[in-house]
């Protein structure tokens, strides 16, 4: 039955000028039919370079919104409209506006995991792969970093910048892992290299062999001559790595590193969206799009320096 759905998706794809984008955290059947698979930064940067007028996005809402902001002339369809990001929901527009009124000189730096409204109120947007480089360019400023306190702490420690105020948001998936989980697995797999996403707690991050975004973790494995790796991020990354490197062994740092929102999109959802029976065409307020695009283009400009 699933095979049949995947075949129907491929057939539908040939009938319209479209591309399917999928985040690494998506379920395997979605990755099987996706034209491009990547992390937030890769997908954001890719969208504006694509020639096709229609994009089916298999990820969570903020990613589809980002695609729309960077390519306002394209039709962007979120395959499952219920797929959101709990971390993005941890910052409200009212709270941010209040902070800005009370702290008019702060530079607002937002992680890409934010709604379009929040990006529109931000000066610079960052992803985990470019955050450190960009934050090194604004060291002389008072900064509010939102919403991820863990990525923010990592940036604060690495850039040795005390002028960063952290929002109290976090990723409920990465936040779950404790140092004991990591140490227990390390004692079972003493030869394994520990690779961690900076959305994890600082106690784990500071003990890791390597800290990086999804793409950086995947690149690390490709270049490494080691054969065993403990993966400190979402299950989908481990699945992609296993597929790319069947000769290497991977261990998930924490059993429940599974983002339910990222796994919400099924092949049937995607097919429904392609057949006009589901999905959501992303529509954003013009003014919000213009303002949000400034913070995103600021990221692209500063990360390409
Ligand atoms: S893994 Fe965390 S940050 Fe990523 S979409 Fe899920 S809840 Fe949001």
pLDDT band at 305 (very low <50, low <70, confident <90, very high): low
User: Looking at residues 48-62, what average pLDDT do you find?
Assistant: 94
Per-residue pLDDT at 76: 95
* Cα 70 to Cα 65, 159, 295, 296, distances in angstroms: 9, 29, 11, 8
Per-residue pLDDT at 300: 85
* Residue of 127, 174, 259, 265 to test ligand 1 pocket, by largest number of atoms within 8 Å of CB: 259
Task: Inform me whether the pLDDT recorded for 105 exceeds 70.
Answer: yes
Picking from 58, 60, 124, the residue whose alpha carbon sits closest to that of residue 87 is: 60
Residue given tokens 């937030």 in the structure block: 40
Task: Return the structure tokens found at 305.
Answer: 């320096």
If you measure from the C-alpha of residue 264 to the centroid of ligand 1, how many angstroms do you get, rounded to a whole number? 12
Q: How far apart are CA 167 and CA 176, in angstroms?
A: 18
* pLDDT tens-place string over residues 124-171: 999 998 999 999 989 888 999 999 999 999 999 999 999 999 999 999
If you measure from the C-alpha of residue 49 to the centroid of ligand 1, how many angstroms do you get, rounded to a whole number? 25
User: Looking at residues 173-196, what average pLDDT do you find?
Assistant: 96
Q: How far apart are CA 244 and CA 32, in angstroms?
A: 13
At residue 61, φ and ψ (nearest 5 deg) are: -55, -45
* Cα 102 to Cα 79, 97, 166, 218, distances in angstroms: 39, 9, 15, 41
pLDDT band at 48 (very low <50, low <70, confident <90, very high): confident
Question: Is the minimum distance from the CB of 231 to ligand 1 under 6 angstroms?
Answer: no
If you measure from the C-alpha of residue 170 to the centroid of ligand 1, how many angstroms do you get, rounded to a whole number? 9
Per-residue pLDDT at 50: 92
Q: What is the mean pLDDT of the chain?
A: 95
**How much of the chain, in percent, has pLDDT values that exceed 70?**
98
**How much of the chain, in percent, has pLDDT values that exceed 90?**
90
User: Looking at residues 291-297, what average pLDDT do you find?
Assistant: 95
> Which residue's CA is the nearest one to ligand 1's atom 6?
259
* Residue of 91, 110, 131, 174 to test ligand 1 pocket, by largest number of atoms within 8 Å of CB: 174
User: Looking at residues 196-209, what average pLDDT do you find?
Assistant: 97
User: Looking at residues 174-199, what average pLDDT do you find?
Assistant: 96
* pLDDT tens-place string over residues 225-245: 999 999 999 999 999 999 999
Per-residue pLDDT at 3: 66
**Which domains are seen in the chain, by residue range?**
2-84+262-283 (3.40.50.10800), 88-170+288-303 (3.40.50.10800), 174-252 (3.40.50.10800)
Picking from 30, 32, 65, the residue whose alpha carbon sits closest to that of residue 47 is: 65
Per-residue pLDDT at 227: 98
Question: Is the minimum distance from the CB of 173 to ligand 1 under 6 angstroms?
Answer: yes
User: Looking at residues 162-189, what average pLDDT do you find?
Assistant: 96
If you measure from the C-alpha of residue 171 to the centroid of ligand 1, how many angstroms do you get, rounded to a whole number? 6
Q: CB neighbours of 6 closer than 8 A, spacing ≥ 6?
A: 29, 32, 33, 267
Taking the CA of residue 84 as reference, the ligand 1 atom at the shortest distance is 5
Cα-Cα-Cα-Cα torsion 264, 63, 115, 126, nearest 10 degrees, comes to: 130
Helix/strand/coil (H/E/C) assignment for every residue in 215-244: HHHHHHHHHCCCCEEEEECCHHHHHHHHHH
* pLDDT tens-place string over residues 114-133: 999 999 999 999 999 899 99
Q: How far apart are CA 92 and CA 155, in angstroms?
A: 23
């Amino acid at each position: 039955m699933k095979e049949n759905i995947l075949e129907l998706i491929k057939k539908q794809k040939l009938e319209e000028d479209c591309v399917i984008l999928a985040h690494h955290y998506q379920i395997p059947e979605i990755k099987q039919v996706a034209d491009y698979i990547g992390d937030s930064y890769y997908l954001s940067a890719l969208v504006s370079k694509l020639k096709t007028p229609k994009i089916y996005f298999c990820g969570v809402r903020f990613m589809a919104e980002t695609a729309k902001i960077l390519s306002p002339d394209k039709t962007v369809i979120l395959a499952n409209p219920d797929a959101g990001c709990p971390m993005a929901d941890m910052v409200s527009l009212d709270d941010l506006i209040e902070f800005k009124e009370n702290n008019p000189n702060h530079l607002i730096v937002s992680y890409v995991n934010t709604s379009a409204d929040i990006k529109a109120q931000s000066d610079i947007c960052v992803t985990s792969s470019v955050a450190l480089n960009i934050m090194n360019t604004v060291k002389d400023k008072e900064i509010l970093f939102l919403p991820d306190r863990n990525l923010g702490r990592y940036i604060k420690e690495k850039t040795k910048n005390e002028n960063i105020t952290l929002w109290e948001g976090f990723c409920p998936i990465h936040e779950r892992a404790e140092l004991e989980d990591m140490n227990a697995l390390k004692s079972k797999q003493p030869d394994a290299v520990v690779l961690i996403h900076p959305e994890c707690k600082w106690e784990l991050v500071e003990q890791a062999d390597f800290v990086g975004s999804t793409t950086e973790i995947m690149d690390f494995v490709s270049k490494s001559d080691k054969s065993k790796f403990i993966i400190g991020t979402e299950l989908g990354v481990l699945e992609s790595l296993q597929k790319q490197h069947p000769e290497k062994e991977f261990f998930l740092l924490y059993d429940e590193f599974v983002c339910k929102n990222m796994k919400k999109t099924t092949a049937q959802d995607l097919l429904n969206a392609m057949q006009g029976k589901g999905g959501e065409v992303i529509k954003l307020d013009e003014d919000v799009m213009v303002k949000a695009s400034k913070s995103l283009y600021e990221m692209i400009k500063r990360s390409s320096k």
